[in-house]
Amino acid sequence: MDFNITLLFILFDTYLLGEYKRICDYAVEAIRNNLFELSPDDANTILVGYMMFKPKFDQDNPPQSQMRERKTRAEILDEFATKYDKELGEIEPTAANYSKIDFALQGIRVAETVFQIIPSDTNNPIHLDYTKKFLKNFSSEILVETRYSDNDSEIDYRLKHRFYRKYANFLLHREVASIQDWVKPFIDAFSISREMADFLSDVVSEEDSLFINSSTTRFSKGTTNLVIKVFNYFYYL
């Protein structure tokens, strides 16, 4: 099986390994932290492939069907690969292919995983457009208070925790002049809540992490200005 398809299929696997780590998270981190530097074309091919095929995979393999038919994971993936063999071989990370993706079919779990794969320092037009759509469509849902024990919800506390940290990191890699545009979906959905407090706390945590782990001027000095900018937008609502 093609290396890209192997990574793509690993991204389909959301089985939990412990409290916060899923099998797909290992592929997410490998693509985001390594493959985008080593081979951006391959990384973007997998990313667009995930946007295109994860909704199809979920539609073809609902949890109830998997339990009823008792197929192994390998059998399910083999059937899917056979069904979409031609299409899987034609994935290209082009603007034309991206334009064919119906965001309404993505769902928050798919969209959040795409957001996790996208590098925080990206300036790729497809990455930025998808992120804007994600924030516009799902910010208000993410900020709805959820019980920590509500694991069956489409937006459970694990998803929120992952999103807050990534969104904070993403904001801290934006230019100061663009911050207002990127926080606007959260400003529009603002409410005094535990979720908003968690998000703002993660902005500070991510700034601390970038400051400690980076030797660049941008992150040793510049992130403080970004954090202040983010907090100002919420403080003066």
Is-contact 45 93, C-beta < 8 A?
A: yes
Beta-carbon contacts of 71 under 8 Å, excluding residues fewer than 6 positions away, are 79
Is-contact 123 36, C-beta < 8 A?
A: no
Average pLDDT over residues 74-81: 94
16 membership: H or E segment, kind and range: strand 16-17
Beta-carbon contacts of 58 under 8 Å, excluding residues fewer than 6 positions away, are 107, 110
Domain locations in the chain as residue ranges: 1-101, 102-237
For the chain, give the percent of residues with pLDDT over 70. 82
Answer yes or no: is pLDDT of 149 > 50: no
Answer yes or no: is pLDDT of 217 > 50: no
Report how far residue 57's alpha carbon sits from residue 218's, in angstroms, rounded to the nearest whole number: 41
Average pLDDT over residues 148-162: 69
Q: Convert the pLDDT of each residue in 88-110 to its tens digit.
A: 999 998 998 899 899 989 999 99
Q: So what's the pLDDT on residue 203?
A: 76
Answer yes or no: is pLDDT of 8 > 60: yes
Q: So what's the pLDDT on residue 226?
A: 65
Average pLDDT of the chain to the nearest whole number: 84
Is-contact 32 118, C-beta < 8 A?
A: yes
Dihedral sign for Cα 89, 95, 100, 106, please. positive
Confidence grade of residue 193 (pLDDT, cut at 50, 70, 90) = confident
Q: So what's the pLDDT on residue 153?
A: 56
Report how far residue 231's alpha carbon sits from residue 227's, in angstroms, rounded to the nearest whole number: 6
Report how far residue 13's alpha carbon sits from residue 27's, in angstroms, rounded to the nearest whole number: 10
- More confident position, 159 or 66: 159
Q: So what's the pLDDT on residue 108?
A: 94
Rg (CA), the chain: 18
Amino acid at 129: D
